[in-house]
Amino acid sequence: MTKPTKATRHKKAMEKQKAKVDATIASATLERGVAVLLTGDGKGKTSSAFGMVMRALGYGQRVGVVQFIKGQQLSGEEHYLKDHCPDVEFYQMGTGFTWDTQDRGSDIEAAERTWAVAEAMLTNTNLDLVVLDELTYMLAFDYLDADRVISAITERPAEQSVVVTGRGGGSKLRAAMDTVSEVKDVAHAYREGIAARKGVDF
């Protein structure tokens, strides 16, 4: 008699779970764009942002992407957007990592130039989703003024969603976002000596 009992217990537990899920959905009724922060030291922040780009494009939404830091070498998702998604507004700072440039002055100029593009997107009512990839480092290095960045994010069009990625970012930025996920690095292939993999890591 173990099997029917297990099935019955399962049904009961699932009925309870469904009631809980339904109640949560019923209480979340505010319809507006959301601000999402993907932070932490683990793998998956930028890829998650690009997964949301795919999600938005699946509904025919308009998308803008600004990548801070990156752009020296194109990665897979950048190739994809350039080759297959000409309608996505796409801008890259293009300087490479701060430890590659090693030049604070030129980094700040590049950050300001890139931020101007982001700021324009954050006032563009035609865009449903804006991705600001690796933006947090611009705040961590004090390349951009945090208050100015946070104001632009919170004052964006009500229907627009925004996704910010990168480690850290500070408590003020966190407080300004609706959804915050911290991606923890529990294990990483490179610590086992495995090289970064094309199509997965870049």
DSSP one-letter code for 195: P
Q: Rounded to whole angstroms, how far apart are CA atoms 78 and 113?
A: 20
CB nearer to its own copies: give 151 or 174.
Answer: 174
CB nearer to its own copies: give 147 or 171.
Answer: 171
- State the helix-helix crossing angle for 45-58 and 76-84, rounded to 10 degrees: 20
State the minimum distance, in angstroms, from the CB of residue 57 to its own copies: 5
Q: Rounded to whole angstroms, how far apart are CA atoms 159 and 40?
A: 27
CB nearer to its own copies: give 25 or 147.
Answer: 25
State the minimum distance, in angstroms, from the CB of residue 202 to its own copies: 7
Q: Rounded to whole angstroms, how far apart are CA atoms 160 and 153?
A: 10
Q: Rounded to whole angstroms, how far apart are CA atoms 202 and 77?
A: 8
State the minimum distance, in angstroms, from the CB of residue 94 to its own copies: 17
C-alpha dist (Å) from residue 125 to 21, 90, 120: 32, 16, 10
CB nearer to its own copies: give 84 or 113.
Answer: 84
State the minimum distance, in angstroms, from the CB of residue 53 to its own copies: 7
